[in-house]
Amino acid sequence: MPRSRFQKSFAVIDASCLICLLHLKDLLPQPDFLQALSLRYQTVYIPRYVQEEVRRKGRIRHRLLDVIQRYPILEICNVESEYDAQLLYDHHRNPRAPIDRGEAEVITQARERRVFEVLIDDRKARATAEELNLIVKGTAKLLVEFETIGIIEKAKPLIEMLRKAGKLRLSEKLFKEILKQAGEE
């Protein structure tokens, strides 16, 4: 696997990104997308609720614990301030709560751990994270980064594969913008 030209940092991942990486791992055993995360990140935190959310989804639920054990870069974590997370997702506490619980725990966990990067696909959650000065990257941008460091040849076919499988919802405008940034127009 190629060496990373990035300084390793920490990230907190949401269910959608984790599901996409697991889906790609099922379809394409090589490259190992979860192992590729270790070129970019020292640790990728998975909030407990995100873990439960992924376990409720399809075939991957049975393999999630095995995956977490096989990849030491992945670490389950608990939100310390449930109240902070609730302000982002609970409509009883905050009638204008913009996002769901998994995404709220990702953002809360990042802030509690002083992690500046979050891996989130949902548009509203991305906007919320950016408002809180977090660096947001979705699955598509992560794949473009994998292309940049030589893990994959092209991001476009993988992004298209995820879109067709219904794993990645990406507007056509954003899709084209990401491909333009990657030089794959």
Confirm or reject CATH 3.40.50.1010 for domain 9-182, answering yes or no.
yes
pLDDT tens for the chain, 185 residues long, are 444 455 789 999 999 999 999 889 888 878 888 889 998 899 999 999 999 988 887 666 567 778 888 899 999 999 999 889 988 898 888 888 889 999 999 999 999 999 999 999 998 999 999 999 999 999 999 999 999 888 898 888 999 899 998 888 887 888 888 878 777 66
d(CA 56, CA 82): 21
Q: DSSP for 46-98?
A: EEHHHHHHHHTSTGGGGTHHHHHHH-TTEEEE--S-HHHHHHHH-TTT-TT--
The pTM is what?
0.88
